[in-house]
Amino acid sequence: MLQTWHIGVDDTDSNFGMCTTFLATILIDFMLALPLELLDFPKLIRLNPNIPYKTRGNGAIAISFMASEDLKDKFWNGAIDRVKQYADVDDPQTDPGLVLLQGEVPSDFIELYKQALYQVIPLESVKNMLKKHPTDTFFIKKGRGLIGATAAIGATLLHDYTYELIIYRDLKEKKPERLIDPISVINADKNTPLSFSNYDYENKQVMITPHGPDPVFCGIRGETSNAVIQMWKMIQIFEPIQTSMLFRTNQHTQVHFPKQFSGDEISPHHSVILRGSVVKNPYNLPGGHVIFTIKSGNISIDCAAYEPTKQFRKIIRELMEGDEVLVFGGVRPASVETPTTVNIEEIQIIKLVTIREKITPKCPNCGASLTSAGKNKGLKCKKCSYKSTKRNFNYKSRSRKIRPGMRYVIPVCAQRHLTKPISRNEPLQFHLTSEIDFQKAFYDFLKRRTELNDHFVKKKEISI
């Protein structure tokens, strides 16, 4: 009898190579050779970016499919073999986990996903939960990857979602640079409005290529599967690629900030929206970091915009004591040198204080600035001894460069996988319909995949 199944996999990558999405790509190729039917694009699910032990992106994968029960041993053992073969278990930080669920996704899984987006989830609670459902598990070492694998299955992506087309180079290739033509990236970006965060125009950086030793050549993000495919076809590259996979993902949807907290409710490594008022003006630290303090609930908390957030620090420096703000960020625990600090990803202004500024009148005789002649003695000119009958200075309110109601977000080059870029502010109607046939769209992609993998490799021109 045909059944619905879900495979979740996480924590197979390391900082020295490998990438969980590549392992998923190999696993999908294996599955496509079996008599089973995938139900959707594979899902690339990012979880709380502030987890201390995560690798680069804290990304997990879920694959949903229909298959006969007789086939179970085959696909499950095949999945285990691929994790054993490809997971980078020599890295002490890598702790792979693989979960197989039979049937519909239970509400426990969906709830776990929501929690794992902003909290730190204990492994034991996940292991206990898995025992209550028709699941099989496989893990190496402690199996911390079971947390992400289970949460990824729980990510149904019914509301907002995006796509990422990931292009891979040869697994043996470890060099940090990817040979790509930046001008072609800019041109393709300008011609593909439904693809985003391809290039940071403020900081002049190509954003689709990573710099690590992993097999990812580039990743193209967008609102539709067609947009990311179109974008890729316009890009010029100077080295061969090996394969590709198109993922549906929660990236750039801001789901890791589900609610507002007050200062007394936050815990280390959580992703939080903190409401508070500025009690200490922004100041600079060595290295270009900017810090200010807010009072939220009953406590004062430091908030930080670090040097890599570039121009964003200019916005932060505009804050003044008394301003009411919403700070979106990760809670860094206190250390010997620093108190608990929120690393800011975004800030919104609720209310700005009015700052009164003294208006200095000019002397009608000589044009010099008038000064006070002493308390209640009016104003006088020091230069020509003119005395004004006016007793006090007038004040005006200083205009502020920041405005309530705006999202101020760190620049593209500093954004994390879940950060919602400003370019996604407009709600996209086609993401709200459930009528998109993801299965059909995924098989359409597979039909075009050979063509995408045979991407033309341009010879580097030698300039004389």
Binding region for Zn ion (CB under 5 A): 363, 365-366, 368, 381, 383-384, 386
Element (H, E) at 182: helix 182-190
Looking at the Cβ atoms of 16 and 386, the one nearer to Zn ion is 386
Looking at the Cβ atoms of 303 and 370, the one nearer to Zn ion is 370
Least distance CB 380 / Zn ion (angstroms): 9
CB 265 within 8 A of CB 297: yes
Least distance CB 387 / Zn ion (angstroms): 10
DSSP secondary structure letter of residue 17? B
Least distance CB 394 / Zn ion (angstroms): 18
Taking the C-alpha atoms of residue 269 and residue 330, their distance in angstroms, rounded to an integer, is 6
Looking at the Cβ atoms of 142 and 383, the one nearer to Zn ion is 383
Strands 216-222 and 289-296: unpaired
Least distance CB 366 / Zn ion (angstroms): 3
Within 8 A by CB and 6+ apart from 128, the residues are none
With tokens 């205009």, the residue in question is 399
Looking at the Cβ atoms of 159 and 362, the one nearer to Zn ion is 362
Taking the C-alpha atoms of residue 397 and residue 441, their distance in angstroms, rounded to an integer, is 56
Least distance CB 207 / Zn ion (angstroms): 58
Looking at the Cβ atoms of 290 and 363, the one nearer to Zn ion is 363
CB 296 within 8 A of CB 350: no
453: burial class by Cβ within 10 Å (0-12, 13-18, 19+)? middle
From residue 147, give the alpha-carbon distance in Å to each of 91, 139, 188, 287. Answer: 18, 11, 38, 36
Least distance CB 379 / Zn ion (angstroms): 11
Looking at the Cβ atoms of 359 and 464, the one nearer to Zn ion is 359
